[in-house]
Amino acid sequence: GKSGYDHYMLKEIHEQPRSLRQSLSERVDELGGRVDIGDLADLNPRGVQLVACGTSYHAALYGAELFRQAGIPAQAFRASEYATSPPPIGDALVVGVTQSGETADTLSALREAQRRGARTLGVTNVVGSTVARESDHVFYIRAGPEIGVAATKTFASQLASLNLLALGLTSTDSTREIISSLRDLPGQVQEVLDGSGAQAVAETYLESDAYFFIGRELNYPVALEGALKMKEITYKHAEGFAAGELKHGPLALVTNQTPVFAIVTGDDELAQKTIGNVKEVEARDAPVIAVTDGQSDVERYADHVLRVPETHPRTAAVLANVQLQLVSYHTAALLDRSIDKPRNLAKSVTVE
């Protein structure tokens, strides 16, 4: 059942502290400053190609960035494109990221990679799923069953799992720091859930016909995911952009009627660049909602602020995403949408 929540989606959003703990449990050795991913640690990939669809593709984009940060060439591909026109694979490890393990496009991409002689790794939630069975290796994200068509807790667990894999398959100087931020993550998600502020933002912009989301690097997939969730359950137009791309076209759409969610965590050069983009939309009178840990001065340019606790950029992305999940959820609830079963969509897409 829904345990007293109005929708499975809201229940699953609130389950994230627990599902994240499950994903991390017994895989993180904090004292030793290392992760334990079992035999997978021997894979030693010299390159990584991630294939996935929808929300899982956003997780794949995030995962590719983690591998690149560790010096491993890595790229995320939309499985439907990869299946029919794969890039040269070389000796890359091909990683299929799929909650259900049954998505036809992802299966085709993995089969194509296998046909070309690649080693494959399935990152999935469902034990015994087709991807789990067909892949050479499998890593379970352990989020528990997800009923809502909109992926929420499984996305968070995919991001956590990709952190474990990237740490376990590569070597990074900042392993200890990342491990301790992963340990803090479930509690910080709880803090966001306890004092989100997303409902007020949803109410304020309920009449808008279009919502934009911008972010850079690890916050770029979060912007894409924020927009996908919004369109999926509210049926409103929403787009996520790499913040730097705005002025190459999308800025033409920005008016005082288009709220822009800017995901800005930390206060480095990257954050400052995104704040530059925030100023550009502010100059067009667009309402700005800053999703931020309060480290930078982005709040000066924002009409609303959705706060997240201060942490490592990797986990900050997970926290920012929780705020955006809640904005979409409350917007859809106020519009009385069919949140758990949006029109035209299925939980698991088993046709190409």
Characterize 30-57 residue by residue with b for buried, 16 or more Cβ atoms within 10 angstroms of its Cβ, and e for exposed: eeeebbebeebeebebeebbbbbbbbbb
Query: Which of these ranges, 66-74, 100-108, 185-193, 286-294, lies near ligand M6R under the rule CB under 6 A?
Result: 100-108
Task: Decide: is 54 part of the binding site for ligand M6R (CB under 6 A).
Answer: yes
> How distant, in Å, are the alpha carbons of 206, 248, 281, 303 from that of 252?
22, 9, 10, 21
Which CA distances in Å does 62 have to 40, 129, 217, 318, 324? Answer: 20, 23, 8, 10, 16
Beta bridge partners of 50: 76, 95
Binding mask 236-275 for ligand M6R (x = CB under 6 A): ----------------------------------------
* Annotated catalytic residue 347: yes
* From candidates 22, 106, 157, 258, binder to ligand M6R by CB under 6 A: 106
Q: Is 234 in the site for ligand M6R (CB under 6 A)?
A: no
Q: How far is CA 65 from CA 9, 49, 68, 85, 99, in A?
A: 28, 11, 5, 22, 20
- Which residue lies nearer to ligand M6R by CB, 99 or 196? 99
Could you say whether residue 349 binds ligand M6R (CB under 6 A)?
A: yes
103 lines the binding site for ligand M6R (CB under 6 A): yes
Q: Find out whether 127 and 140 touch, Cβ atoms under 8 Å.
A: yes
Among 16, 19, 49, 99, binds ligand M6R (CB under 6 A): 99
On the 0-12 / 13-18 / 19+ scale of CB atoms within 10 A, 4 is: exposed
Site membership for ligand M6R, residue 55 (CB under 6 A): yes
State which residue, 31 or 351, has the beta carbon closest to ligand M6R: 351
What crossing angle do the helices spanning 54-69 and 219-234 adopt, rounded to 10°? 180
Q: Which is nearer to ligand M6R, 22 or 296 (CB)?
A: 22
Question: 121-160 mask for ligand M6R (x: CB under 6 A)?
Answer: ----------------------------xxx---------
Give the residue numbers marked as catalytic.
Answer: 347
Binding site for ligand M6R (CB under 6 A): 53-56, 98-100, 103, 106, 149-151, 232, 348-349
